[in-house]
Chains A and B, each alone.
Chain A
Amino acid sequence: MSTRRTFTIGLTLAASLLGTTAIAQDDPVRIALVVKSLGNGFFEAANRGAEEAAAELGNVEIIYTGPTSTTAEGQIEVINSLIAQGVDAIAISANDPDAVVPALQKAMQRGITVISWDSGVAPEGRQMHLSPSSNELIGQTIIKLAADQLPEGGQVAVLSATSTSTNQNIWIEEMNKVMGDYPNIEVVATVYGDDLADKSYRETQGLIQTYPDLDAIIAPTSVGIVAAAQAVADAGKIGQINVTGLGLPSEMAGAVESGASKSFAIWNPVDLGYATTMIAYHLAQGDATAEPGAAIPMGRIGTATLDDNNEAAMAVPFTYDASNIEEFKSVF
């Protein structure tokens, strides 16, 4: 009997709570940032960016959530509970582009704004996707990083992953398209370290011996850039050869401190979380629509322009150097 009474009390209380939430006019806009798994520095940083955007927008509540392990089933349980809470928007970095689609479609049917960021969802399961950067912007960035340190021009070499790595090949291709902007820079060789630390190290040693006047090595791979920086340091060429490209701050902190790498680039997770939140807010509030060609404001980052697949690139990769490596090396 007593359980029934408590149950009734629970019911009435719940009903009254429901009532109040429905009546209140200045309810915060609740945006759920669903990540691949909790306890990952990259996503914690994205959450910091999301909170920054929320503070800037005002009246926005960020729900930072995700499963314990990187499974699609875990994310679906999270999505179901977010649907139940009637959040205004779900922004997800998906563990599986397909398996979360039915759950996200259900969310959209119930009027929730759904976007994906970082790791995308199949088009039928989201309104739009925000990539941290685009192939074009990455290609332009890696050569600019090298050229900025070489005002007089010079020789650069590329240390890639494997000769069949789709991403790296596209980035190098995009880089070659803008080489006309750097008439004094000569790309003398492209070698492949196969994304193996020891092979990348040996290939770098080969470059140093073959091209005594080499000024920079561009490694658009997080494995290669670390190995190249090590090889340059071991050969005593710090100050003569600058290693740059794409790398992780945690792995590159030593190379930046030693001077083997003056700067390198990768996406900024803080900016990504910030931009994602801005877009989710504008879509949920109805002052922007996710459709091909649409331009959606991202606050201080700028504007995201959607392509035919409703996908957008946030910005050029973020540059890390001696001024900010300390801050980011503990993040990811």
Chain B
Amino acid sequence: MSLAEGTRPRHIPDRLSGRMGHALRSWELLLLLVGVAIFVANSLLSPYFLSPWNLSDATFNFTEKAMIAFAVAMLIIAGEIDLSVAAIIALASTLMGLALQHGAGTPVLVGVGLLTGLLCGLVNGTLVTRLGLPSIVATIGTMSLYRGISYIVLGDEAFNGYPASFALFGQGYAWWVISWELVIFAVLAVAFGVLLHRTNFGRQVYVIGNNDTAAAFSGVRVQRVKMILFLLTGLMSGVAAVCLTSRLGSTRPSIAQGWELEIVTMVVLGGVSILGGSGSILGVVLAALVMGMVTFGLGLLNVPGIVMSVFIGALLIGVIAIPRLIRLARTGRAA
């Protein structure tokens, strides 16, 4: 296990300490095992679980949230956070509805959704990188701002009557049971995986998360990288807004209410350190699958939602605590 250590001295690890090369593998492995266990348990407990169409329906429980979680994971690795993501969905969806009222077709609607996301990301990024506000404060503020605009525009009204071609994103299937949303999710997972783990930009994100002063002195343009991450997060919220609006076929200001915390949960469950500097996209993908399967499996058993939240909370604490407990037990034995 310690073989890999020290053999690549200039490599900055994806995890905080050198020994964690092992933990990286074990974290994803642990999640994978939890995932497999839940899959098997679901199959045994419910006769309805192992049906292609049902599993396909289940993917809608996490695809939109996961799209945003990829970008938020990178942001958290860089030591920042964006809590306004769900509010961006609301604003983007509302503006798409407004565009619809003015006769926009599907391409324009998608454009409006993505552009709104980008603009919201730009506002968040400006507040954090130009004005130097802490991202948690800035995005709590914009969270109220974006959703507030949505409420002002819509009140207790709703936009509906989206064109049939627009339903493709949230209700269409690419092939057999593979929905377009699942395809978008998979493509984004690969794209973010490459961006974070295989590019210079991804390296810089880790460096900033570990020590942004050192990063700045090493010639990394810290604020520029952070701005790009906020733009990416905004854009992904826009993509999710297009998918969710298409799936619901309507817009209300309460759309995606409370998603920001579910997304952060997904990221943390995926092994991304909330303190920044470590984590992987594979972990987030696995966490999304685990959360999706848990909620769907418990749903099939008609377990009340309250119990589901308790289960997710316990899972989160469990998955985070177990490796630490193991480490404690090991060091205890060594001493």
Contacts and interface: CB of A to CB of B under 8 A. Distances in A.
B51 A68 contact: no
B258 A99 contact: no
Contacts of A85: 46, 48, 300
B250 A96 contact: yes
B57 A101 contact: no
Contacts, number: 122
Query: Which of B40, B256, B258, B302: most chain A CB closer than 10 A?
Result: B302
B300 A14 contact: no
Interface string B279-317: 000000000000000011001101011101100000000
A38 B254 contact: no
Nearest to A125: B249
Contacts of A176: none
Contacts of A15: 50
Contacts of B51: 84
Given A63-B302, A85-B300, A98-B158, A13 B54 contact: no
A11 B50 CA distance: 7
Nearest to A15: B50
A7 B256 CA distance: 35
Contacts of A69: 257-258, 305
Contacts of B92: none
Nearest to A100: B248
Contacts of B126: none
Contacts of A84: 48-49, 51, 53-54, 57-58, 296, 300
B307 to A, nearest CB: 9
Interface centre among B160, B299, B309 (most CB of A within 10 A): B299
Interface string A244-259: 0000000000000000
A77 B295 contact: yes
Given A6-B40, A14-B49, A66 B250 contact: no
Contacts of B250: 96, 98-99, 101
A102 B247 contact: yes
Contacts of A57: none
Contact of A99 (B249, B305, B309): B249
B306 A14 contact: no
Contacts of B43: 7, 10-11, 13-14
Chain A interface residue number, banded? 35 or more
A6 B33 CA distance: 13
Interface string B164-182: 0001001100000000000
Nearest to B170: A102
B156 to A, nearest CB: 11
B43 to A, nearest CB: 4
A101 B44 contact: no
Interface string B238-250: 0000001001111
A74 interface: yes
A285 interface: no
B158 A14 contact: no
A83 B39 CA distance: 19
B192 interface: no
Interface in B57-83: 57-58, 60-61
Q: Which of B57, B170, B244, B306 has the most CB of A within 10 A?
A: B57
A224 interface: no
Contacts of A21: 47
A99 B255 CA distance: 9
A103 to B, nearest CB: 8
Of listed A65, A68, A76, A78, residue having the most chain B CB within 10 A: A68
Contacts of B61: 77, 80
Contacts of A97: 158
A224 B140 CA distance: 37
Given A68-B309, A74-B305, A84-B300, A98 B44 contact: no
B252 interface: yes
Contacts of A81: 296, 299-300, 302
A38 B308 CA distance: 12
A213 interface: no
A98 B255 CA distance: 12
A209 interface: no
Given A14-B50, A96-B250, 4 more contacts: A10-B39, A76-B60, A83-B54, A99-B250
9 contacts: A14-B43, A17-B47, A37-B305, A76-B248, A80-B60, A80-B296, A98-B252, A99-B248, A101-B249
The 5 closest A-B pairs by CB, nearest first: A81-B299, A68-B305, A17-B47, A10-B43, A98-B250
